[in-house]
């Protein structure tokens, strides 16, 4: 796989990364560690050099998993993690946001230990904290970079004004936000800002939390611990309405001898050369399918057909419950 650079930075990674969250958190029961480690290592064997985690995934267990799995590949892979949530010391559950500089530094120290690294390759603010000026956040990460504990600074789900303010204090290497054929919010302001400033973009949930693979329909049921149960876009009615998008991907996939998931990822890769999606999976076969997207070539005609058909489809349902939706785009 040809490498991609995240914006103007010197951070070079595989064109597709691996989002590791779902191995420990979010999509039903956590996977067995001894089954997940081989999947992460198989990704390395197949050329993936970019892995995404966060302290809040688990919490903590996902960073530990990634740290153990990638220990043999120090210096050959890039690991991104995140700070910014307040965690209840008794339950470990999220209890709001906390991007105070002293908290950022504590989280970074703990993440270094769990990831078993001397420096965090890319440290994102997980969500913008309205109670802490972004300049203070960027300043705290700048200190960590100066100390050699962090190499690159990132933001997740930030709005364009916040990105500009942060970038003025400490250059931002990458912004991570949800982006796919059914979540196109970043196109309005964020992507043009990133292009102007020379910042890379890392789409998470590039397969629409699994929906764009074509393996989910209105009758699919999720485990009780799967957060899609509370996502408005995943109500049975919304899934039925949104099936039109999967049908479109399936049609293009047949033409290109690919799968709907591969078309969804190839579409993202075709948008900009500095976009690096991070699909997640717990299965080796799905990992191989996703990585196959890097070889799918979408012509300008293909992209025009997708655009024209997608513009007629109105996606039903918000991408997050209201409380979580409020934390995005600040």
Domain boundaries, the chain: 4-209+269-295
Sequence-distant (6+) residues with CB within 8 A of 64 are: 58, 114
15, pLDDT greater than 90: yes
Q: What is the mean pLDDT of the chain?
A: 97
- Asked if 12 and 5 touch (Cβ cutoff 8 Å), the reply is yes
Let me know if 57 is a catalytic residue.
Answer: yes
| Per-residue pLDDT tens over the stretch 167-180 | 999 999 999 999 99
Full-model pTM: 0.98
322, pLDDT greater than 90: yes
Q: Using pLDDT thresholds of 50, 70 and 90, give the confidence band for residue 91.
A: confident
Give the percent of the chain with pLDDT over 70: 100
80, pLDDT greater than 90: yes
CA distance 265 to 277: 7
- Selecting among 57, 124, 204, 320, the annotated active-site residue is 57
Q: Give the gyration radius of the chain's Cα atoms.
A: 19
CA distance 242 to 211: 9
Range 148-152 average pLDDT: 98
Q: Using pLDDT thresholds of 50, 70 and 90, give the confidence band for residue 294.
A: very high
The whole-number pLDDT of residue 314 equals 96
Q: Using pLDDT thresholds of 50, 70 and 90, give the confidence band for residue 236.
A: very high
Range 254-263 average pLDDT: 98
291, pLDDT greater than 90: yes
Phi, psi (rounded to 5 degrees) for 303: -65, -35
83, pLDDT greater than 90: yes
1, pLDDT greater than 90: no
The whole-number pLDDT of residue 316 equals 97
Range 143-155 average pLDDT: 98
User: 4-209+269-295 — its CATH code?
Assistant: 3.20.20.100
The whole-number pLDDT of residue 92 equals 85
């Amino acid at each position: 796989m040809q490498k991609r650079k995240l914006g103007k930075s010197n951070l070079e990674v595989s064109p597709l990364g691996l989002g590791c969250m779902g191995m420990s958190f979010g999509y039903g029961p956590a996977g067995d560690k001894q089954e997940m480690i081989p999947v992460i290592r198989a990704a390395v064997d197949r050329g993936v050099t970019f892995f995404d985690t966060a302290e809040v995934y688990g919490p903590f267990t996902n960073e530990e998993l990634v740290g153990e799995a990638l220990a043999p590949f120090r210096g050959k892979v890039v690991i991104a993690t995140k700070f910014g949530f307040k965690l209840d010391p008794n339950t470990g559950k999220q209890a709001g946001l906390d991007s105070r500089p002293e908290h950022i530094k504590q989280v970074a120290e703990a993440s270094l230990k769990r990831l078993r690294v001397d420096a965090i390759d890319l440290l994102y603010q997980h969500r913008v904290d309205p109670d802490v000026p972004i300049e203070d956040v960027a300043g705290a990460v700048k200190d960590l970079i100066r100390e050699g504990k962090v190499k690159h600074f990132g933001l997740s789900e930030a709005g364009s004004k916040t990105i500009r303010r942060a970038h003025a204090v400490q250059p931002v290497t990458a912004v991570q936000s949800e982006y796919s054929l059914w979540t196109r919010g970043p196109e309005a302001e964020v992507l043009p800002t990133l292009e102007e400033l020379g910042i890379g973009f890392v789409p998470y949930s590039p397969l629409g939390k699994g929906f764009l693979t074509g393996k989910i329909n209105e009758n699919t049921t999720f485990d009780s611990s799967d957060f899609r149960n509370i996502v408005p876009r995943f109500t049975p009615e919304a899934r039925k309405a949104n099936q039109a998008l999967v049908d479109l991907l399936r049609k293009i996939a047949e033409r290109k001898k690919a799968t709907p998931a591969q078309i969804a990822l190839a579409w993202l890769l075709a948008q900009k050369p500095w976009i690096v999606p991070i699909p997640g999976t717990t299965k080796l076969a799905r990992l191989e399918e996703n990585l196959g997207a890097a070889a799918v070539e979408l012509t300008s005609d293909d992209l025009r057909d997708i655009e024209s058909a997608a513009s007629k489809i109105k996606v039903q349902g918000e991408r997050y419950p209201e409380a979580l939706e409020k934390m995005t785009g600040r």
